[in-house]
Structure 1
């Protein structure tokens, strides 16, 4: 079976069409169509349904896509392992970072990695925490930073930070003089927050529901600057991780700890249990550990044997 044909087919499914897949793959559309047609003939099944506006996999196509994703991931791991056998550090490393986590914790790590390992093609993919697990499963990224919890049956984690949530308000706001405030403040004060793709939003909403109410959300954005602009305009108050407040220049606002209960969470680097850890990935881990002050656990860098799971104890 032609690996290239599987790659073309998988990209057509990912993009929902031949023309978009052609742009991503830098391969002509007729060449992709021909490869997919030959794959259908080899397997004896129809793989795609071609509608006027999109292309979708058939039921048989969904099965082939699932196996193709696994095979392509194995090919990438094979290439990484062979590359690592050479003396100079080269290859490709794909890191998934949620927007807030990436800008808060990893901007210096990215810059240092590019300086020290120019031979490694570093790709930073911005994924919301809610999408990271699927991206890791699909082999789109090699390692990711995420808010815990994640599925420990599928992933190994390396914790790198503990965090808590705090209110952020204008200096003139009535709770700006408080030393601490309960989440119940959102019962009477409108909330400005991020889009629902952010795992942070679920954390806030769950905390409010536990107190018997749903917050009144008056504005959402996927950009921190716009969220803070809405707070500055007086639309409402927001909730941010302490790490973001400490590492971001937002001195014109007042941060008030949330208590009774304090809303805490952990951040971790995450990788699939059955995955090859390239030398580039190990270099990334070492730089991150130095910058963020954590010690890399043996369980996180233990390699998976063929068909075995990595112990997480």
Structure 2
């Protein structure tokens, strides 16, 4: 068995078929089919059911795919580690950060990190917590910022920041003068929220669900500036991190009792982390507030 054959099979599964995989790999489809057939002959099992219009893995194929992903991750980690020993790369950190924290918390940290380590490349992917978790699990990201609530058992985590979640309304809104708002009151208002999968929304909806409340969501987006602009126009209530409410046309209202979210940085347990990624995690630990 060769790693090339493993890579071919993974690309077929991820691409949904032989045609797209052949294009991605830059080889002919017949050559790809022959390589996979040789792999199956060597193993003595059928990995892909070719009778279906869309490819489907056999039971043996599903077991092989799981192991193949682990082999691929170990291979990539080994290559990166050897490159570091040979000094062939300056290093890159691939991190996922939700939009609000990326805009209002991390710019100063990134500037500090760049000043300390000017030769390291930092690639930031902005997405919701669910997407960030999936990208870390697949190996597409080294680490990411998510809520510390109910983390899967395959991650390691470290605290980053605790921040208050507040209700946010237009400065001219009838609720703007309230010193605090209960979740019961929030449930009676039309809500402008982040899309599902963002940890700040999850924290609010989970807190409401714990009280038997159902949010009246009338608008959702994953764009922080758009959410703010819609809220500033009036007619509804949004929820934001307090640090994000800076505009004079918006008013932040604490919840009663206060509602907080604990953001943590996570990475895949037992996965290889490059020297650059380890350096960034150590930097975050030293920068905790």
Confirm or deny a common fold (TM above 0.5): yes
Choose the corresponding residue for 2:288, options 259, 271, 294: 294
SS across alignment from 1:263: strand
Listed as ranges, the matches of 1:133-212 within 5 Å are: 133-151=133-151, 153-212=153-212
- Contact 1:98/1:128 (CA < 8 Å) preserved in 2? yes
Aligned CA-pair RMSD: 2.9
Distance in 1 of aligned mates of 2:283 and 2:79:
23
Q: State the partner residue of 2:255.
A: 258
Segment drifting more, 14-23 vs 109-118: 109-118
CA deviation after TM superposition for structure 1 residue 145, in Å: 1.5
- Contact 1:49/1:56 (CA < 8 Å) preserved in 2? yes
SS across alignment from 1:185: helix
| Residue 27 to residue 279, structure 1, CA distance change in 2 (3 Å) | same
| Residue 285 to residue 56, structure 1, CA distance change in 2 (3 Å) | same
- Contact 1:98/1:145 (CA < 8 Å) preserved in 2? yes
SS across alignment from 1:100: helix
| Residue 153 to residue 187, structure 1, CA distance change in 2 (3 Å) | closer
Aligned length: 287
CA deviation after TM superposition for structure 1 residue 136, in Å: 3.0
TM-score, normalised to structure 2, is 0.84
Distance in 2 of aligned mates of 1:113 and 1:27:
38
SS across alignment from 2:102: helix
Q: State the partner residue of 1:270.
A: 266
| Residue 47 to residue 108, structure 1, CA distance change in 2 (3 Å) | farther
1:71-114 deviation per Cα after TM superposition (whole angstroms, max 9, x unaligned): 11111221222222234653554323333333333345556767
| Residue 251 to residue 42, structure 1, CA distance change in 2 (3 Å) | farther
- Contact 2:129/2:199 (CA < 8 Å) preserved in 1? yes
Distance in 2 of aligned mates of 1:168 and 1:95:
28
Segment drifting more, 28-37 vs 153-162: 28-37
CA deviation after TM superposition for structure 1 residue 117, in Å: 5.9
Distance in 2 of aligned mates of 1:159 and 1:190:
33
CA deviation after TM superposition for structure 1 residue 203, in Å: 1.6
Distance in 1 of aligned mates of 2:109 and 2:259:
27
TM-score, normalised to structure 1, is 0.79
SS across alignment from 1:85: helix
Q: State the partner residue of 2:279.
A: 283
CA deviation after TM superposition for structure 1 residue 273, in Å: 2.6
Distance in 2 of aligned mates of 1:32 and 1:136:
29
Distance in 2 of aligned mates of 1:48 and 1:243:
51
SS across alignment from 2:141: coil
- Contact 2:171/2:248 (CA < 8 Å) preserved in 1? no
Q: Please list every run of 5 or more consecutive structure 1 residues that lacks an aligned counterpart in the other structure.
A: 296-313
Distance in 2 of aligned mates of 1:241 and 1:147:
13
Segment drifting more, 267-276 vs 143-152: 143-152
SS across alignment from 1:82: helix
SS across alignment from 1:6: helix
- Contact 2:91/2:276 (CA < 8 Å) preserved in 1? yes
